[in-house]
Structure 1
């Protein structure tokens, strides 16, 4: 009875936590993003503090974060604007292709109109894109709040570490500090690897679309670069977008198929061959855990959740690996136990 009661309490607590994270996303998401940024840039601030004053190091690091976020945000906005404009220009062509596909399916006994008539149309697609655009425009407050947390967090990191070291339970304090350092190292390695793989993916997609004669090769390269930061889901979206555009540009279905196959080869070689070899045992997160992280956190926090989901899982499993009571959970998802 006692074990059953504990299991019920854990289940209830988990449901409450999920609901709290979902409905409190405006509060928790900026904090999580700020901690993520601090993990990435803290070594820069620490290195600068060795050669200059603490406050100068803080100012330089914070300005670097602001400039990087502005540059990445501008790149996302420019790429989405380019892709959105192409979809608007080719809207009539997409509607015609959809009508042809529906006619072909119904001619083969598949009632496509019953399945899609109310769920898909070009106007529905345009409304969806406009909705995404409006949500992106409303994220200004999110970035401001997150940057405030980043500034305060960078200013307090050393004091926070000192307070942890002064705890009476030195074993717990040392375990927390070891787990924090290990998690930060893994997050930095993961993002460095993700950036390199995204650059490689974007470059090869640009080269492929350029060789195939597809217009706006630079736009598709940047789109593949940005979307590759979201594992599994991002490359899939990039492939579908570029293939859909190829449908409106090429008259031959063989060329469209060649573009589709080429994109899949690029994504498969980089994502399934090169990247796992580079991650090795440092970030040996199982494919199931990676995919679940993307969709679960995406369901909680939208696009931002899909982006930050894998780093959150890496941090959580790293902490689990540093404690004997939860080490088994880390091993299930591919993380080795850390020395206590």
Structure 2
């Protein structure tokens, strides 16, 4: 028992220490799982390298759209702060005075650091961190390009007699992981677009400034379970305090945004994903926070796909099938070639 525990701790330490490489590797495998059916379909009509180029261009386009939306949104907020941060300072001082009159003292770092430069600095720090992710995108796309070129050869090696019976199980696991990840991203993308659109409409109707920026931020951050919707709800509420200078209006905006996030995230998405992605909510929350601790913002995004892959691998081997049963419903490792045509890879 001690040996596997020590090995697991060492693996986690390696993942933490080498995060710059392993983040790129995790994202590249995630992208390959999603984009491979497109390249495979294109290869039937054109040369392999041309199909690879088109697949990479599609991937780059989707990545740029998602990344640009959140960078643009936070950039708009930063410019708005420079022009209107005095509102927050005035509102903060007014509220602090009111609370102190009623025996509630505001102490600690917030009292010392809440000023215009601090607010602008926080926004700029977020924007810088988001822009820094573009540097690792080059390594990700190198991995994706090399991985897409090798998918067929790698599957052939797994199906060779020398690696049986484990090779066949790994191939089955990879196919099932691909199906689940593509369904996860399809549903997540639909929910993100819907969330961004509804938040934009609500911000317009409520008279909240920067409605388009709030919609873009809600769209992009919705890809991060729990943490993303939380930030996309809290930020407009904080800015509403400075704009309207009324806690009643801010509370109404917070409640309305929370209802929007709840309906789409907790009601609509589970019905679209179905039983195939019915992972324990506790496991999802743990994965998001654990991988965000390990790898920061990229870890928060990739945490759930890693959990999906881990659950499928556990389901495909007898010794770990009980782990998959604890983490999710519908954990059977089935041969996707026996599934209905609409669900095949």
TM-score of the pair, normalised by structure 2: 0.91
Distance 1:115 1:104 in 2: 19
SS at 1:189 equivalent: helix
Q: Is the 8 A contact 1:83 1:219 kept in 2?
A: yes
Structure 1 segments, 4+ long, off by >6 Å, are none
1:32 equivalent to 2:26? Answer: yes
Q: Which residue of 1 aligns with 2:39?
A: 45
Which residue of 193, 201, 204 maps to 1:207?
A: 201
1:3-42 equivalences under 5 Å are: 6=1, 8-42=2-36
Q: Which residue of 1 aligns with 2:156?
A: 162
Q: Is the 8 A contact 1:317 1:329 kept in 2?
A: yes
Distance 2:124 2:245 in 1: 29
Distance 1:301 1:72 in 2: 19
Kindly tell me the number of residue pairs found equivalent between the two proteins. 334
TM-score of the pair, normalised by structure 1: 0.92
Q: Which residue of 2 aligns with 1:269?
A: 263
Ranked by relative contact order (alpha carbons within 8 Å, sequence separation 6 or more), the top structure is 2
Which residue of 156, 179, 191 maps to 2:185?
A: 191
- C-alpha spacing 1:42/1:129, structure 2 compared with 1 (3 Å): same
The C-alpha deviation readout for 1:43-63, integer Å capped at 9, x for no partner, is: 000011112222221121122
Distance 2:166 2:52 in 1: 29
1:103 equivalent to 2:91? Answer: no
Q: Is the 8 A contact 2:67 2:220 kept in 1?
A: no
1:285 equivalent to 2:279? Answer: yes
Distance 1:220 1:71 in 2: 16
- C-alpha spacing 1:248/1:119, structure 2 compared with 1 (3 Å): closer
Distance 1:86 1:154 in 2: 43
Distance 2:195 2:134 in 1: 29
1:326 equivalent to 2:323? Answer: no
Residue 210 (structure 1) shift: 1.1
> In terms of mean alpha carbon deviation, does 127-136 or 285-294 score higher?
127-136
The C-alpha deviation readout for 1:194-241, integer Å capped at 9, x for no partner, is: 000111111111111111122221111111111111111111111111
Which residue of 242, 247, 250 maps to 2:244?
A: 250
Structure 2: segments with no counterpart, 5+ residues:
335-345
Distance 2:167 2:331 in 1: 18
Q: Is the 8 A contact 2:24 2:140 kept in 1?
A: yes
> In terms of mean alpha carbon deviation, does 303-312 or 115-124 score higher?
115-124
- C-alpha spacing 1:125/1:167, structure 2 compared with 1 (3 Å): farther
Q: Which residue of 2 aligns with 1:3?
A: none
Distance 2:74 2:81 in 1: 10
Q: Is the 8 A contact 1:102 1:113 kept in 2?
A: no
